[in-house]
């Protein structure tokens, strides 16, 4: 069956900051405006808008998609908001992909925004309500718990040491020092700094975690005939996959993300990839916590189970390694405005594959990259493969 090809032709993003002066609408518009300028388009060229933003409780706005619609450029246009929790940032380009691949639209604007600082006094508290209202919420659970529980299980199942996991945080934060939008880039951070940081929920420490942030990212997606007209450096969406595991997270194996594997297999099949470790040149796995990057590399079949840390130890994951991981700096370094952070990874692949990533440019003219996000109750994997 012939598929309609879809390319990313423009990208834009705001700085990721702890607390932005701009409103959520303004951040959305800044990113959208930049994406349009980058491919010399205007809103008149845009036929539909896809928005990604994570829980309404951050913004304290019911039907937040409706509220943000004009900021995202959707005035008097078809507008839809998709939503898979933390996986949203890599889902919203998939939503854009199916808008174009369906044949209903030729040019679509994709916007992801998060303004977490609106939640008072601390955005983490908004996560109480992600737990089951009857069987879990009465225990006053904390978002850190589920990460700590999963990290502990992952470490003990495979015998992984904290110092190896800390390498992830170090590499990502060092990479982020070259990203002009980064919140927590640090060229000099060491494993000791991570291991000596404040314990939040053992085994999770302060520097294992990405920061709460505000920010927005936008892309322009186009059908093949439009793409050929507007750019000689298209980056194609070659494969997409997403998968949602059971909500009963205490009834499954926390050491391995099967849902990421299934999402990845869907994307590999669509992209015609048989040997992902050879055919993926840049990986941007989701890294809200350092161990998550490892967990996800294994789910993505880019490392054997329990072996992903070795990619960092051996330098394979370094920016000049055989398979650079998170050359952007990831969520740990650039920041984690939830939905925007996922879409930042897609924007990074766009810039990397076009050779426009500046200080962060991966050597060797990479041809194909993969970005992945994760979310809901440790439950959803979203994967996009892009190539030139």
Q: CB burial class (10 A; 0-12, 13-18, 19+) of residue 253?
A: exposed
**Pairing verdict, β 380-387 and 368-375:** antiparallel
Residue of 79, 207, 268, 291 interacting with other proteins (CB under 8 A): 79
- Tokens representing residue 100 in the block: 């174009």
245 touches other proteins by CB under 8 A? yes
Determine the Cα–Cα distance for residues 279 and 262; give it in Å rounded to an integer. 18
Per CB under 8 A, contacts with other proteins among 176-205 are 179-181, 199-204
- Spatial neighbors of 378 by CB under 8 A, at least 6 apart, are 146, 150, 249, 254, 257
| Contact flags string 112-131 toward other proteins, x per CB under 8 A | --------xxx-xxxxxxx-
Per CB under 8 A, contacts with other proteins among 255-294 are 258-259, 262-263, 266, 270
Least CB distance from residue 349 to other proteins, whole Å? Answer: 12
Residue count at the site for other proteins (CB under 8 A)? 127
230 touches other proteins by CB under 8 A? no
Per CB under 8 A, contacts with other proteins among 37-76 are 38, 54-57, 60-70, 74-76
Per CB under 8 A, contacts with other proteins among 364-383 are 375-377, 379-380
For residues 82 and 171, which CB has a smaller minimum distance to other proteins in the complex? Answer: 82
Per CB under 8 A, contacts with other proteins among 141-180 are 141-142, 144-145, 148-150, 152-153, 156, 179-180
Least CB distance from residue 112 to other proteins, whole Å? Answer: 13
For residues 19 and 278, which CB has a smaller minimum distance to other proteins in the complex? Answer: 19
What SS3 class is residue 352? helix
Least CB distance from residue 371 to other proteins, whole Å? Answer: 16
Per CB under 8 A, contacts with other proteins among 311-330 are none
Reported as half-sphere exposure (CB side, CA atoms, 13 A), residue 185 has a value of 18
Determine the Cα–Cα distance for residues 3 and 383; give it in Å rounded to an integer. 18
Per CB under 8 A, contacts with other proteins among 94-113 are 95, 97-99, 101-104
For residues 243 and 336, which CB has a smaller minimum distance to other proteins in the complex? Answer: 243
Stretch of residues binding other proteins (CB under 8 A), selected from 84-92, 165-173, 185-193, 303-311: 84-92
Stretch of residues binding other proteins (CB under 8 A), selected from 169-177, 285-293, 300-308, 354-362: 354-362
**CB-CB contact of 11 with 238 (8 Å):** no
Least CB distance from residue 330 to other proteins, whole Å? Answer: 15
Per CB under 8 A, contacts with other proteins among 2-41 are 2-4, 11, 13-22, 27, 30-31, 34, 38
Residue positions counted in the chain = 388
Supply φ then ψ for residue 240, to 5 degrees: -135, 150
Least CB distance from residue 12 to other proteins, whole Å? Answer: 9
From the list 198, 195, 43, 26, the residue with the least C-alpha distance to 107 is 43
Determine the Cα–Cα distance for residues 300 and 268; give it in Å rounded to an integer. 10
Reported as half-sphere exposure (CB side, CA atoms, 13 A), residue 160 has a value of 29
Supply φ then ψ for residue 381, to 5 degrees: -120, 135
**CB-CB contact of 300 with 264 (8 Å):** yes
């Amino acid at each position: 069956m012939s598929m309609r090809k879809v390319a990313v032709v423009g990208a834009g993003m705001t700085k990721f900051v702890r607390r932005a002066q701009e409103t959520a609408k303004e951040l959305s518009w800044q990113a959208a405006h930049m994406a349009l300028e980058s491919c010399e388009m205007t809103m008149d060229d845009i036929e539909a808008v896809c928005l990604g933003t994570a829980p309404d409780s951050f913004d304290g706005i019911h039907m937040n998609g409706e509220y943000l619609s004009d900021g995202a450029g959707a005035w008097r246009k078809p507008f839809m908001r998709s939503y898979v929790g933390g996986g949203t940032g890599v889902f919203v380009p998939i939503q854009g992909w199916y808008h174009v691949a369906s044949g209903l639209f030729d040019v679509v604007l994709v916007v992801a925004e998060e303004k977490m600082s609106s939640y008072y006094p601390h955005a983490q508290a908004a996560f109480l309500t992600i737990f089951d209202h009857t069987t879990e919420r009465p225990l006053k659970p904390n978002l850190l718990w589920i990460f700590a529980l999963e990290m502990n299980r992952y470490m003990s199942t495979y015998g992984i040491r904290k110092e190896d996991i800390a390498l992830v945080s170090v590499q990502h934060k060092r990479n982020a020092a070259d990203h002009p939008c980064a919140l927590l880039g640090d060229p000099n951070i060491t494993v000791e700094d991570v291991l000596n940081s404040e314990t939040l929920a053992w085994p999770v420490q302060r520097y294992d975690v990405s920061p709460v942030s505000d920010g927005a990212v936008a892309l322009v997606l186009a059908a093949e005939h439009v793409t050929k007209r507007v750019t000689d450096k298209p980056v194609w969406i070659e494969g997409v996959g997403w998968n949602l595991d059971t909500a009963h997270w205490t009834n499954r194996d926390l050491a391995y993300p099967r849902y990421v594997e299934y999402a990845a297999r869907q994307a590999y099949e669509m992209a015609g990839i048989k040997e992902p470790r050879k055919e993926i040149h840049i990986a941007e796995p989701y890294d809200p916590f350092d161990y998550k990057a490892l967990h996800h590399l294994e789910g993505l079949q880019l490392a054997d189970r329990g072996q992903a840390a070795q990619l960092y130890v051996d330098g394979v994951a370094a920016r000049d390694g055989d398979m650079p991981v998170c050359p952007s700096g990831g969520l740990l370094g650039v920041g984690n405005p939830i939905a925007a952070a996922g879409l930042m990874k897609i924007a990074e692949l766009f810039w990397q594959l076009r050779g426009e990533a500046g200080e962060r440019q991966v050597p060797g003219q990479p041809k194909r990259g993969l970005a992945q996000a994760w979310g809901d109750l440790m439950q959803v994997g979203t994967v996009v493969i892009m190539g030139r």
